[in-house]
Every structure is written in C-alpha cells, then in structure tokens.
Structure 1
Amino acid sequence: MTKRIIPGFGWSIHGDGKSIRPGAVVAPEERLNWFQTTGVGMQHVVAMFGATFLVPAITGFPPSTTLLFSGIGTLLFLIITAGRVPSYLGSSFAFLAPVGAATAQYGMSGALGGIFMAGVGLMIVGAIVHFAGPAWIQKLMPPVVTGSIVALIGLNLAPAAWGNVQEGPVTATVTIVAMLISGVLFRGLLGRLSILVGVVVGYVVAALRGEVDFEPVGEASWVGLPEFTTPTFHIGVMGLFIPVILVLVAENVGHVKSVALMTQRDLDPVTGRALIADGAATMFAGAGGGSGTTTYAENIGVMASSKVYSTAAYWVAGIFAILLALVPKFGEVIATVPDGVLGGAGTVLYGMIGILGVRIWVQNKVDFSHPINLAVAGVPLIIAIADYTMIFGDIELKGIAIGSLAALLIHHGLSAIARWRGTDVGFEDTEDDAALATPVNRDDLEKRDGDGN
C-alpha cells in the first residue's frame, strides 16, 4: 500500500488499474488509474449537485459559498476519518426549516450562528461516540423516535413549499411531474438524479415563460471568491437547531453502516470520527456563509453502481467542487432558479423527507399496535405540521424543536412509567446496531452481496 502523507490520502492500485474483476470492488484504500478515478469523482459531483444547490436556492444563501464549504467539508471528512469512509458532504435538508425560521428572526447571520452551533453539538456527540461507542445512540433514539423526528422535519416544511408554488404554479407543476417521471423513466445514474432532472426541466420551462432574470449572470465575473458572511449568535436560535443534531447523528451513523455493508468492513470504530468530521464541516460552513452539511445518499448510489468505493474519487470530487465555487458566474446561474421551480422541488423533497421517517419505521418493524409507539409517532407530527410555538424569555421553540423534544419525552417518559407499573411498555429494546436510518435499503444490499454482484 502507498504510504499516506496525511490521513485519508494515498492509495494502492486496484488490479491493473483499468478494470474491476467480477464480484470485486475497489476498496476505500485503493484506486483505479487517475483517468478513471477522475471520471468517477466527476460523477459524484453530478450526483450531489441537484440536492446540494437546492438548499441555498431555497434559503437564499449564496450557492457558490455553499459549494465551496461542501468541497472543503468533504476533504476534511476524508482526513478526519483517515480515508476509511468514502463520503461526499452536501447540503443537509434538515437545516431548511430552522434556517428559514432563524433568518426571519435574526437574518442570515443569525441562521449561520445556528448552523455553527449545530456543528459544535454534532462534534460533541461524535467525541462521546468515539470514546463510549455508538450503542447509547440506539438507546436514546430507537427507530420509532428517529423516524418521528425525520418525518416531522419534512412535514413542517409543507407551507414553505406551497408559498413558492403559488409564485409559479405552472412551472411548479412541470417540475413536480418531471421529477416523478424521470425517477422511473431513466435507468442508472440519470434515474437517481431525478431531482436534478426535474429542476433542469422546470428551469427551462420557467425561462421560456419569462420567469428567469439572466441579468445577474451577465454581470458576474468568471473567476473570483464567493461571498462570505460571518455568523452572529443568539440564544433564541438554539431550540431551532437542536433537533437537527439528532437527525444528523442518524444520517451519519446510517451512512457509516451502509458503507460497512457495501464494503464488508467493520466501521463501528470510525463512527465517532464521522460525526466529528461532519460537525467540523458544518462549523466551517456556518462560520463563512455556507449551508450545514451531511453525508449524501446520492453518492452511495454512485458507489453501488460503479463498485468504486475509493476515497480517491472523493478527493477529486471535493477539489472539483472547490474549483467550481471559484466561478461566480456559475453561482449566479444557480441563484436565478425561480420560486416556481423551488416550490415544485420542495413539494417532492419535503414529502420524501417525511416518508423517509416512515421508511425508518417500516425497515425496523416498529409495532404500532402499542400505544406508546402510536403516541411517539402521532403527537410530534401534529405539533410539527401545525407549527406549535412556545416562548421562554429570549428562546422561542417552534414545531420542529417542540415535536422532537416531545418524541423523546413521550418515549422515555411513558416507557419509564410502564416499566414502573409493570404494564406493557409498548416497544422492545433492540440490540440491532443497524436500527437507524440508512441511505440505502439494507435488504437490497444484502441481496446484492449474496448474489456476488
């Protein structure tokens, strides 16, 4: 193996460097020749593109700044995890609702302060996981709780989607239809990029309808630094971003478990590092004006189809993202995406986030014949959809924060009472270390491994 100059850098050549033997995969510490590795890395950039740019487009953050910190965060992740976990860090949709609420109260800088604090919180959780192991996460957030928190974040965003749809109903409808059809019409990578395809189709329709202002694109330069913004910190945003930390924990742990299944390796020892790395990347983004990050399911799909799990490809992707961020004209093109397109994309994406929570329940066989599980799932969803609000001095808690807190308190509180009274606790503790959200379907991975594909 090539001697590593820094953690996560330096790879041995897989086979002849040109091909992959049937049934084999390119391991994280291996690579193909640089021509093919660069091609796979570019593919990863395409895979993350649609989802990563939708977040700044929806929140009003500078797209180029988000892309810059996405690339930097990816490289940071590879270094901190010592090249053991292939991953791209793109914009997290979990930040959409709290960023929107924080921006309305304190402006963009206040929202960035919340993102920064979320990164700090995630790093702290990662440090605890690194030294104590990840088992306690399963105890704190069993599948019924994790699913509820993920679902309520998506459903809480429904009014935001409707507000954008009203600005361009025809364009929004075309975007929705294009996203849905492309997901089943195309095969391979294009099929997995249904978000990007839908946005492109919607954008073209919006341009034809005169809904796109291209003047800022013409005025932008070809080369230059993106726009940076420093954060400000307000105690009132803390309640908005705490639930995001819980979702990021579930997403990152799920990503590590998915990669472990795909590469047939024990990555539990590096789970804490993955959380620390994403926390650090989110802190960097919040410090300079970018969107909070998370590990990306879209890029899991690229690895599954290409059989290339090499972290070298992610170094290529991260570096290319950074270079692309230094083209202001490119960022201005993204900033011209009209409200109708954003509304259509949001309708699909927010709904998918909500159903991802349901998928967590289904995958982990949560038993809803028990009243505690019903309460943990039902009450928080109503709180989030109605966007309940509670004010304690300078701290304002809204639907997502209250709903997430309710899910934890209902589960652990009612379960403690049930154990004390000797009644049916309504759930079964599980030792299954995979009982968290995973970016891909666990059963499908196991079937593919069994088939030798």
Structure 2
Amino acid sequence: METHNLSPLRKGIIGVQFLFVAFGATVLVPLLVGLDPATALFVAGVGTLIFHLVTKGIVPIYLGSSFAFIAPMIKATELYGLPGTIFGLIGVAIVYFLMSAFVKWRGIQFIQRLFPPVVIGPVIILIGISLSSTGVNMAKENWVLALISLAVAVAVSIYAKGLLKLIPVFCGIIAGYVAAFLFYEIDFSVVREAAWFSLPQFVFPQFSWQAVVFMIPVAIAPVIEHIGDVYVVNTVTGKDFVKDPGLHRTFLGDGLACLFSSFVGGPPVTTYSEVTGAMVLTKVYNPQVIRVAAVAAILFSVIGKVSALLKSIPNAVLGGIMLLLFGTIACAGISNMIHNRTDLSDTRNIVIVSLTLTIGIGGAVLTWGNFTLSGIGLAAITGVLLNLILPQKQKSL
C-alpha cells in the first residue's frame, strides 16, 4: 500500500524502525575500516536524501554502508593512507556516473553484456573470501565472545520472525556486547567523556589518483547489486522504477551519494535490501517513510555518546559476526550464478570463473611504474576482459 494517509507520528515510528533494520550493517563497515560510525550514519542519511532528490522522491530506497568495500578500503589504507583512500572512493562515484550515462545512451542491455553472472558471481565470492582472515584474527582475541555473537546471529537469522529476522547482525552484536559487559571488562571511559552532542569525525580526502584507480574495479559488484535491488523494489511496490524515474537516475543518485561520502570521510553507500525486506513485512512503501529514516540517521550521527558506545564494542564480538557475514557474502556470489543458471560445464565459463578466483585469492599484482592493481580490482577486470574476449559457445541449430 502507498500509505500516503499515514499520520506524521506513524510515519516517524515506521521510519525509525527502518533505520533500526539498517543500523547494524551501516555502522559495522566503518568500525572495521577505521572510520567513525557516526560519519557512516551521517552520509547514509544525507546520501539517501540526495538519492531521493535525484529520483524525484518516488523510489522507496535507503542507502547504507557497502560491505563490498571493506577489504579494498583496508588494503588501500595500507597503500595510500586513510585520506588517500577516502579520495580514492571518488572512483566509485565515477563508475556510477558512467553507468548512468551508458544506461541513458544504450539501455540496461549494455551493462548486462559487460557484467554477466559469470563475471559478477566470482567477484562477489572474492569479496567475502578476502575478508575471512580478518574475521578469524578478530574473533580469536576472545573466542567465547565471538562464538556468543555468532550463535545469536545464526539463531536470529534462522528462527526469528518479522522485523527481528532482518537484523541478525544487530542482535549478535548486542548479545556479544552484553556478554562482554557481564563477564569481561569494557572500557566505558570514552563513553563517559564523550559529549552528548558532537559532529561526526570527518576525514577529508588527500589527492591520490592511484587510490582512485584501485577503487574503480571494485565498484562492479555494487553496480550489479544496485540493478538487482531496483528490480526487487519494482516487484515489491508493483511499479516500474526502471522506466520512471529511470535506472540512469537511480545510478546518478547513488553516485552523487558516494561522491558526498568521499568528501567527508564516510564509506561508499549502496542500496539496502534489508530495508526493502522491512517494507515487505510492514506493507509500507511510501518514500516519505524512507526519508524519515534518513533524517533519523543524521540525528543519531550527532549524538556523541552513540558513536563512543559503538567504538567500545570488543573486536572479538565484531569478529564473530564477520565469520558469518563474510561467508554469507561469498554464498551470495554462488547463489548469483546458480540463480542465473551459469553453465559450469562450459569451458569458457570455467576459465572465466577459475582465473577470476585464483588471481583474486592468490594476490596477483599488476605493476606499471607507480601504478599498481591487485586483489579484487585486478580479478574483476580480468573477468570482464575474458568475458569480452573469449568466444561464446555456439548454439546448435
């Protein structure tokens, strides 16, 4: 239902519920890459409002921190420093802008030809697998806390119902945090000293074209995720947002949101399917409610004690969640290929998938002067090029 007749209070309550669904995932990304979680909430809120402005305010989509960039941001920070990495995120916006222009010019078929499931599937698998060692290293700081967080997250994802089923990450973090409070020590001094109201800790970019080139290939997976989420929202609402306002506008809105994020030191944002799931459960599809969630995120971002509390979460708690989360990302890549019936008896497809995975997992590096391309970025480009170069299997008449 469109729910234009909802009272302002009812819209506010549902909007905060939607933010609650997206909250855990949104703040987890900055906690893992060394950014202020308050900044992530801020850019998620502002980015969502930018998206709605560009898409005529008719597409009920919420933008939050993208998990696809956790591993690349950690690696890029080692290579170019955090300010350089933040500048590199401009490359993500560039990809979205190009996709917007291409869709406007040639239609969605062009993107489907460039990034078929045989390319996207292994790239998504790599995003999950490349993070696995980070999750294990964080979890082993305290395996008891890690396993408590993991067990609760698994139990909620399997047995919970309604809105609770959409926030297993959030529930796992809360359970681990409570266990740490009861049986171990948590340093609350930072929370006590934090101001009730304070601006997020913005990190301003420092020019690094190498970081931009490093980030550009990583944006391939979120581009496909964006398309899929728009089609899911179409199905949920019974409308065709690919035609009106158009996929080129949704790409542009997402790109501008990522560009804003790169200016203030937030992680790249992407469409959040968790909130779409919440819309299905509540039967509320009104974009105004999504904008309420965005405003609520901005308000939470300036409550200093919230950010300080999030930073006090033990690494082991986050590590336990990561064990499940990053494996789930890898499974999403496998599911993508299965759902699209990728034929792995076809030698061409086997070559694309195997080389994409081995180059990404093996840590291959391409160096040319000061230019370096490695990891997921190099693997993604390899998959795209192989898909374009290798001949298609001839169909029998």
TM-score past 0.5 threshold: yes
Task: Please tell me whether the aligned partners of residues 365 and 374 of structure 2 are also in contact (alpha carbons under 8 angstroms).
Answer: yes
The residue aligned with 1:243 is 217
1:298 aligned to which of 274, 277, 281: 274
- CA deviation vs aligned residue, 1:109-166 (integer Å, no higher than 9, x gap): 1110111221132123213223432220011111111212211111111121122122
The residue aligned with 1:402 is 378
Q: Are positions 1:157 and 2:131 aligned together?
A: yes
The residue aligned with 2:157 is 183
The residue aligned with 1:16 is none
- CA deviation vs aligned residue, 1:263-283 (integer Å, no higher than 9, x gap): 222222321111111111111
Amino acid at match of 1:91: S
The residue aligned with 1:273 is 249
The residue aligned with 1:124 is 98
The residue aligned with 1:220 is 194
Q: Percent identity?
A: 34
Deviates more, 1:251-260 or 1:236-245: 236-245
Residues 159 and 211 from structure 1, CA distance in 2 versus in 1: closer, same or farther, beyond 3 angstroms?
farther
- CA deviation vs aligned residue, 1:249-296 (integer Å, no higher than 9, x gap): 111111111111112222223211111111111111111011110000
Task: Please tell me whether the aligned partners of residues 370 and 426 of structure 1 are also in contact (alpha carbons under 8 angstroms).
Answer: no
Cα distance in 2, alignment partners of residues 319 and 266 from structure 1:
26
Aligned-pair CA distance for 1:329: 0.9
The residue aligned with 2:62 is 88
Aligned-pair CA distance for 1:199: 1.0
**Higher share of residues assigned helix:** 2
Q: What does 1:31-430 correspond to in 2, within 5 Å?
A: 31-269=5-243, 270-415=246-391, 424=393
Cα distance in 1, alignment partners of residues 58 and 324 from structure 2:
33
Cα distance in 1, alignment partners of residues 140 and 214 from structure 2:
26
Cα distance in 2, alignment partners of residues 211 and 99 from structure 1:
30
Provide the secondary structure at the position in 2 that maps to 1:390: strand
- CA deviation vs aligned residue, 1:323-347 (integer Å, no higher than 9, x gap): 1111111111111112101211111
Aligned-pair CA distance for 1:49: 0.5
Amino acid at match of 1:114: G
Amino acid at match of 1:135: Q
Deviates more, 1:398-407 or 1:207-216: 207-216
Cα distance in 2, alignment partners of residues 191 and 411 from structure 1:
38
Amino acid at match of 1:196: F
Aligned-pair CA distance for 1:211: 4.7
Task: Please tell me whether the aligned partners of residues 175 and 198 of structure 1 are also in contact (alpha carbons under 8 angstroms).
Answer: yes
Task: Please tell me whether the aligned partners of residues 69 and 285 of structure 1 are also in contact (alpha carbons under 8 angstroms).
Answer: yes
Cα distance in 2, alignment partners of residues 287 and 410 from structure 1:
34
* Count of matched residue positions in the alignment of Structure 1 and Structure 2: 394
Cα distance in 1, alignment partners of residues 207 and 369 from structure 2:
16
Aligned-pair CA distance for 1:105: 1.8
Amino acid at match of 2:249: R
Task: Please tell me whether the aligned partners of residues 102 and 110 of structure 2 are also in contact (alpha carbons under 8 angstroms).
Answer: no
- CA deviation vs aligned residue, 1:394-441 (integer Å, no higher than 9, x gap): 2222220121112112222112xx5xxxxx3599xxxxxxxxxxxxxx
Cα distance in 1, alignment partners of residues 330 and 31 from structure 2:
20
Amino acid at match of 1:272: H
Aligned-pair CA distance for 1:213: 1.8
Amino acid at match of 2:335: R
Cα distance in 1, alignment partners of residues 263 and 20 from structure 2:
26
Considering only aligned residues, what root-mean-square deviation do their CA atoms show, in Å?
Answer: 1.7
- CA deviation vs aligned residue, 1:173-225 (integer Å, no higher than 9, x gap): 21111111111121111011111101111111223343532111111000121
Q: Give the TM-score, by structure 2 length.
A: 0.95
Task: Please tell me whether the aligned partners of residues 136 and 323 of structure 2 are also in contact (alpha carbons under 8 angstroms).
Answer: yes
Cα distance in 2, alignment partners of residues 394 and 212 from structure 1:
44
The residue aligned with 1:434 is none
Cα distance in 2, alignment partners of residues 114 and 207 from structure 1:
38
Deviates more, 1:84-93 or 1:126-135: 126-135
Task: Please tell me whether the aligned partners of residues 218 and 380 of structure 2 are also in contact (alpha carbons under 8 angstroms).
Answer: no
- CA deviation vs aligned residue, 1:85-123 (integer Å, no higher than 9, x gap): 111110000110111011112221111011122113212
